[in-house]
Amino acid sequence: TENILEVRNLKKYFTLGRGATLKAVDNVSFSIKRGETFGLVGESGCGKSTTGRTIIRLYDATEGEVLFNGKNVHQLKGKESKDFHRKMQMVFQDPYASLNPRMTVGDIIAEGIDIHGLATGKERMERVHDLLRTVGLNAEHASRFPHEFSGGQRQRIGIARALAIEPEFIIADEPISALDVSIQAQVVNLFEKLQKERGLTYLFIAHDLAMVKHISDRIGVMYLGALVETAGSKELYRKPLHPYTDALLSAIPIPDPDLSQARERIILQGDVPSPINPPSGCRFRTRCPKAMPECAEIMPELVEVEPNHFVACHLYK
């Protein structure tokens, strides 16, 4: 099937003082099929949010390409650029910070409708009411303000705002991380329901594999600016290949029938090194229990070692 998104050798570097460069995203490639959910996972600072923000053009790319429906998003101009901003939307981690506290919920949700001139007056308000119901709130909520809602409800408002201009693709950047555990599943279920109803494609970013497992068709694991493994969600759980993925899975506390056996907890030594001065060769080598001499010399590339299962590690050659 058709790829709605292709990320090719994407780099996003930030120049800091004194000639230092932060390589937040360093040569990341993956693609997402229409209607699919791709989960992007890694510890904080691994570059997953920066990847999302570069895809949606909140940042320019330092190098590489992002193709959306076959077109390089960083080269779009005029009407094509406006269309892109309509078709791709983002839902943020902290729904409160992303909602203007002085605007009513109705006006927040209608912002995109106004910007894109999609509806006015009664029709505009009807759309807002429909959206509120779609995300599990009700029409009367339109006249209230964000502070009157709980965290889970605010995230629903953020989702309604993203849906208002009928996007094809949503980047959800840790949309459930700030919510109570009891609310997380409800919001994930809402994302799944909306995907079915509207044929949406998702890039779903999280710091924890357990959060993306159920919603993702495929998962990519990032470490220090690079993608270290991508596979189908079930495959990744059953047969993690990269030592880092192994460690992440071993940290999931709840017994999970898809984990092939009870995993021994793998405690990684040390902290994530700074992306300003990453280790030579494999970036994971300073914490990898299986590191070999060549790991310090050669940077492993992401290669397909089994059908649709890619890994960047010298153990698989």
Which residues sit at the interface with ligand SF4, rule CB under 6 A? 242-243, 282, 284-285, 288, 290-292, 295, 300, 313-315
Q: Who contacts 110 (Cβ-Cβ below 8 Å, separation ≥6)?
A: 124, 125, 127, 128, 164
Which lies closer to ligand SF4 via its Cβ, residue 239 or residue 290?
290
Interface stretch with Mg ion, choices 44-52, 104-112, 250-258, 277-285 (CB under 5 A):
44-52
Length of the chain: 317
- What is residue 86's three-state secondary structure? helix
Sign for the pseudo-dihedral over CA of 155, 157, 158, 164: positive
Return the number of the residue (4 or 282) whose C-beta is nearest ligand SF4. Answer: 282
The option from ligand SF4, Mg ion, none interacting with 295 (CB < 5 to 8 A, set by class) reads ligand SF4
Q: Is 30 helix (H, G, I), strand (E, B) or coil?
A: strand
**Rule CB under 5 A: is residue 54 a binding residue for Mg ion?**
no
* Nearest CA-CA partner of 68 in 93, 82, 46, 88: 88
Least separation, in Å, of the C-beta of 261 and ligand SF4?
21
Separation CA 233–CA 265 (nearest Å): 21
Calpha distance 250→7 (Å, rounded): 29
> Which pair of structure tokens corresponds to residue 94?
């902290």
By the rule CB under 5 A, 50 interacts with Mg ion: no
- Write out the binding residues for Mg ion, residues 136-155 only, by CB under 5 A: none
Minimum CB–partner distance for residue 305 and ligand SF4 (Å): 12
Alpha helices per DSSP H over 22-137:
48-55, 78-87, 105-115, 121-134
Give the shortest CB-296-to-Mg ion separation in angstroms.
29
Q: Which of Mg ion, ligand SF4, none does residue 284 bind to, with CB < 5 to 8 Å depending on kind?
A: ligand SF4
Residue in 32, 27, 35 with CA at minimum distance from that of residue 11: 27
Looking at beta carbons only, is 90 or 222 nearer to ligand SF4? 222
- Report the partner that residue 49 touches, choosing among ligand SF4, Mg ion, none (CB closer than 5 to 8 A by kind): Mg ion
Looking at 27, 49, 54, 155, which residue binds Mg ion (CB under 5 A)? Answer: 49
Name the residue number minimizing CB distance to Mg ion. 49
292 binds, among ligand SF4, Mg ion, none (CB under 5 to 8 A by kind): ligand SF4
Q: Which of 83, 12, 30, 60 is nearest to 228 (CA)?
A: 30
The 97-126 site mask, x for binding Mg ion (CB under 5 A), equals ------------------------------
Phi, psi of 311 (to 5 degrees): -145, 145
Point out which residues bind Mg ion (CB under 5 A): 49
